[in-house]
Amino acid sequence: MTYQVLIRLLAPLIWLYIALEAVKKQGGRRFFAQRLGWHYPSSQTQPVWIHCTSVGEVKAAQALVEAILPRHAVVITTTTSSGAKECQRLYGNRVRHIYLPLDWPYAINRFLKAVKPQALWVMETEIWPNLLKLSRRQCPVSIINGRMSAKTLKAPNWLKQTYAQSLGGIDHIFARSELDAERFRALGARAGQVEVLGNLKYANLQAVPDQPRPLAQSYVLFASSREDEERPVVEAWLSQPRTELLVIVPRHPERRDAILDDLKAYRSSLAVHSLNEPVTDTTKILLDDRFGVLMAYFQHAKLVIMGGAFSPKGGHNILEPAAYGKAIITGADMSDFIDETALLKSHDALIQLNDVNELPSALNPLLDDAPRIAQLGARAKNVIHQQSHILQRYLQRLLP
């Protein structure tokens, strides 16, 4: 009841927020209208509806989408314009993209009436009470690649009760791991409702495409860096002379100016891609502040330092560099990727540091040990290939 009252009381602020997001994130009129419950294209066939919050979930669902497209029409919803762009990049006109309506009953009912889905598959974590309840009246609803953070379990009691009621009404929760399954049960899901099928991200990585080499120079990649990480990693990198280049690809490229301000003491050794600054003999660091370049950098890196774990951010996806057979170093906080981290470490396929101050002592000996780098990379790639059965599991349970 508290939730239903809140979403109505906050409606004017939500309208304003959506309007600002439409301008700020360049979603335009379609973003504004569809998020508020208007202008949904009618479906001639009953599509499978897959909800993906943003880019990460769109990418995680790719292998599943490709597997069902020959037989089923697909609609993908996202809440971000970047997710919409990723849909366009991956599928073109083969998949219809719509922005997810806000969790107001009138908006969801208008969406359902227009789209007429045969099933709803919600990627990972999205628990919108009205969305799940109203969709379930029209079609089966499943959470796929289910992920549940410890933070969600610490939500206020009224919100946890709302989540529990929402989960109780859906058909299946297919979790990534036993830990995620336990957390869904702790939140109120029924024991028989939850099943562990594995992480769909492995399915996308069984045959990663070759990428053009982004740089002629030998380089170490610092991928998906976050706030408070660039300066200590750069200082660790510069503490001992290296002939390789350090390439920084931040998680949020729009942070460029903040990163440059933090690294102003090293500005003479740093080149910035968006400023068209060349890499010269005196360049030690390259900041590549573009979207969509990580996979190419992963494939051709000598070694990958994965960000988001040297500060309390939960870490980032280590499976993509693993699929390219790369040696990977990451930090202590991989709380959003506990199972992936444990799996790679159990095969001696990942180096996890307790603190960024350990980076120089770990990095320099490793860069001078080509056999060890090759061994780490080969083991990481083998771990990915051992998970090739996961896609078939999902297909059998979702479309038996």
Q: Is residue 396 part of a domain?
A: no
Q: Model confidence at 188, in pLDDT bands (50, 70, 90)?
A: very high
Q: Is residue 5 part of a domain?
A: no
How far, in whole angstroms, is CA 400 from its chain's centroid?
27
**Is there a single domain that holds both residue 162 and residue 248?**
no
**Is there a single domain that holds both residue 245 and residue 113?**
no
Q: What is the mean pLDDT of residues 356-374?
A: 96
Q: What is the mean pLDDT of residues 313-334?
A: 97
Q: Is residue 95 part of a domain?
A: yes
**Is there a single domain that holds both residue 274 and residue 329?**
yes
**Is there a single domain that holds both residue 115 and residue 144?**
yes
**Is there a single domain that holds both residue 182 and residue 258?**
no
Domain boundary pick from 168, 198, 228: 198
- Give 225's strand partners: 250
Query: What is the average pLDDT score of the chain?
Result: 95
In the predicted model, is pLDDT for residue 123 greater than 70? Answer: yes
pLDDT attached to residue 304: 98
Domain boundary pick from 137, 165, 198: 198
Q: Is residue 26 part of a domain?
A: no
Q: Is residue 19 part of a domain?
A: no
In the predicted model, is pLDDT for residue 125 greater than 90? Answer: no
Q: With contact defined as beta carbons under 8 Å apart, do 230 and 203 qualify? A: no
**Is there a single domain that holds both residue 224 and residue 169?**
no
pLDDT attached to residue 200: 96
Q: Is residue 364 part of a domain?
A: yes
Q: What is the mean pLDDT of residues 66-80?
A: 96
CATH of the domain at 174: 3.40.50.11720
**Is there a single domain that holds both residue 194 and residue 224?**
no
Q: Is residue 282 part of a domain?
A: yes
**Is there a single domain that holds both residue 239 and residue 173?**
no
State the Cα–Cα distance between residues 354 and 76, nearest whole angstrom: 39
Domain boundary pick from 198, 229, 258: 198
Q: With contact defined as beta carbons under 8 Å apart, do 75 and 98 qualify? A: yes
User: Residues 381-395: pLDDT tens digits?
Assistant: 999 999 999 999 999
Instruction: Look up tokens 């400023």; give the residue.
Output: 275
pLDDT attached to residue 43: 87
User: Residues 154-170: pLDDT tens digits?
Assistant: 999 999 999 999 999 89
**Is there a single domain that holds both residue 115 and residue 149?**
yes
pLDDT attached to residue 44: 85
Q: Model confidence at 343, in pLDDT bands (50, 70, 90)?
A: very high
Q: Is residue 22 part of a domain?
A: no
State the Cα–Cα distance between residues 146 and 198, nearest whole angstrom: 9
**Is there a single domain that holds both residue 231 and residue 176?**
no
Q: Which two tokens stand for residue 72?
A: 């089923």
**DSSP annotation string for 39-51:** -PPPPSS-PEEEE
pLDDT attached to residue 1: 66
Q: What is the mean pLDDT of residues 203-209?
A: 94
Q: What is the mean pLDDT of residues 50-56?
A: 94
In the predicted model, is pLDDT for residue 216 greater than 90? Answer: yes
Q: What is the mean pLDDT of residues 36-61?
A: 94
In the predicted model, is pLDDT for residue 206 greater than 80? Answer: yes
* DSSP SS3 for 303: strand
Which domain, by its residues, includes 303? 219-385
Number of structural domains in the chain = 2
In the predicted model, is pLDDT for residue 151 greater than 90? Answer: no
Strand order in the sheet with 245-250: 270-272, 285-287, 245-250, 219-225, 303-306, 328-330, 351-352
In the predicted model, is pLDDT for residue 221 greater than 70? Answer: yes
